[in-house]
Amino acid sequence: MLEELFGNATVVKVLDFLLENRFWDYTKKDIAAHSGISRVQLYRVWSNLEKLGLVKPSRKIGATTLYMANVESPVMKRLSELSLEIADQISKPILEEELTEEEEERGKEAEVEAPV
């Protein structure tokens, strides 16, 4: 959802992916692939994400470290709130349109079922 507001910059794509999948951990390779960026692009921004405490290592499998969003970070908490608010704003008109269509359908059904 952050991409809707901030565009498709590398760091935004990574944060968007991590926020949407905050309860799971991934390798850097998987984070890059699921974010739609190259590993080179990820490595360019990764140190900043670590410095700001937005990502954290979660576990190791052999020599491979898995990472996840640091949901305890005050910045990540705020980004999560912002992402949810953006999602609400985007979905509100869609939901209102669907509700209007449902009401119109119910009205038509009521007209057909009404005794003459």
Is the pTM for the entire model greater than 0.75?
A: no
List domains and CATH numbers for the chain: 2-113 (1.10.10.10)
Q: Are 45 and 13 in contact (CB under 8 A)?
A: no
For 8-20, the pLDDT digits (tens) are: 699 999 999 999 9
Band (pLDDT 50/70/90 cuts) for residue 84 is: confident
**Helix H or strand E encompassing 102:** helix 74-113
Distance linking the first and last C-alpha atoms of the chain: 51
- CA dist 70 to 4, 17, 44, 79, 104, Å? 22, 13, 19, 11, 45
Q: Are 54 and 77 in contact (CB under 8 A)?
A: no
